[in-house]
């Protein structure tokens, strides 16, 4: 099928039946807690009986599976090489919670030939819309084009920063790029590794000050997660769900309207941006 035919088929399908909400987790600086937030958010959303997929968008440097200590038998690179079908990729980690690994040592999404990329996106679309209420996308750090693409197409783009000035500046840089290049206005901010709520609020306010002055973005601060020195132990032990972390995140998530649906669907936006 030709690409333009695939695209119109996709818009038809999306117009008829849009039920999945896409949440992206991004940051300017690396190591601020995106993967831990994605995993713990997946736990929270799946507890209410919703089916949730964590999609590791850090293609080629995927690490959700490492956090869980699971080595998936099939990942996206197998799908792309024709060694797996899409329904073979999700790994179930707990009731209603699955993840798809982006593969390790694999070239970036943007480098794929267009026909392969379109095929991949269409299959993911079909699979997600039929099987999941939420897709949580863990993106690569920085202003990587995959991050800009995935975050700007999500219904709920979440940006994570820590109190470090470099993390705040890099979060601002990411928001600025997505806002200026892609016209996205609403961002949802979580401050991780904060000492307390006052510090987190100050961090969110300084980020907002920058954004208000230099962009047309609207920053919605939804909450914070405290710095916990035992967390590194959990990561080393490949047990990424921490009760305290999860409860604070749950409070942040309660400030989100999870029913946010964009007028235009996630997948057709991505395909348009890629010019396919
Ligand atoms: N609230 C926290 N308290 C203490 N340590 C934390 C907290 N959140 C994350 N960390 C630590 O930061 C490390 C990085 O976390 P994580 O891998 O989730 O970040 P990331 O943003 O996904 O990184 P990358 O950019 O490399 O993908 C973890 O190994 C963990 O030790
Ligand atoms: Mg990560």
Q: What's the pLDDT tens digit per position in 130-187?
A: 899 999 999 989 988 878 988 998 999 999 999 999 999 999 999 999 999 999 999 9
**Which residues are 175's β-sheet partners?**
none
For the CA of 30, the nearest atom of ligand 1 = 25
In three-state secondary structure terms, 104 is: strand
CA of 141 to the centre of ligand 2 (A): 8
CA of 13 to the centre of ligand 2 (A): 32
pLDDT tier for residue 90 given thresholds of 50, 70 and 90: very high
Q: Is the CB of 252 under 6 A from ligand 1?
A: no
CA of 5 to the centre of ligand 2 (A): 35
**Nearest-angstrom CA–CA distance, 134 and 131:** 9
Name the residue ranges covered by the structural domains of the chain: 3-274
pLDDT above 80: residue 55 = yes
Q: Which residue has the higher pLDDT, 172 or 122?
A: 172
Q: Which residue has the higher pLDDT, 234 or 191?
A: 191
What pLDDT does residue 10 have? 53
What pLDDT does residue 270 have? 80
Q: Is the CB of 225 under 6 A from ligand 1?
A: yes
Q: Is the CB of 232 under 6 A from ligand 1?
A: yes
Q: What's the pLDDT tens digit per position in 208-225?
A: 999 999 999 999 999 999
* CATH 3.40.50.300, applies to 3-274: yes
* 3-state SS track over 160-181: EECCCHHHHHHHHHHHHHHHHH
Q: What is the mean pLDDT of residues 258-272?
A: 74
């Amino acid at each position: 099928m030709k690409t333009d035919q695939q695209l119109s088929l996709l818009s038809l399908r999306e117009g008829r039946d849009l039920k999945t909400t896409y949440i992206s987790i991004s940051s300017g600086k690396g190591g601020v807690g995106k993967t831990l937030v994605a995993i713990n958010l997946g736990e929270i959303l799946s507890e209410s009986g919703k089916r949730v997929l964590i999609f590791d968008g850090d293609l080629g440097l995927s690490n959700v599976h490492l956090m869980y200590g699971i080595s998936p038998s099939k990942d996206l690179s197998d799908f792309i090489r024709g060694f797996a079908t899409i329904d073979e990729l999700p790994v179930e980690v707990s009731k209603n919670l699955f993840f798809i690994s982006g593969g390790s040592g694999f070239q970036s999404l943007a480098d794929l030939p267009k026909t392969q990329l379109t095929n991949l996106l269409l299959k993911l679309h079909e699979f997600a819309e039929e099987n999941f209420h939420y897709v949580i996308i863990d993106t690569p750090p920085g202003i990587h084009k995959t991050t800009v693409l995935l975050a700007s197409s999500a219904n709920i783009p979440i940006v994570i920063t820590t109190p470090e000035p470099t993390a705040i500046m890099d979060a601002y840089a990411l928001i600025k790029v997505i806002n200026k290049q892609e016209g996205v206005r609403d961002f949802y901010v979580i401050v991780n590794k904060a000492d307390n709520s006052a510090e987190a609020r100050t961090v969110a306010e300084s980020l907002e000050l920058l954004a208000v002055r230099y962009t047309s973005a609207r920053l919605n601060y939804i909450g914070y997660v405290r710095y916990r020195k035992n967390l590194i132990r959990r990561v080393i032990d490949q047990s990424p769900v921490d009760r305290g972390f999860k409860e604070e995140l749950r409070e942040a998530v309660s400030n989100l309207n999870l029913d946010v649906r964009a007028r235009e669907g996630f997948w057709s936006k991505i395909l348009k941006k890629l010019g396919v």
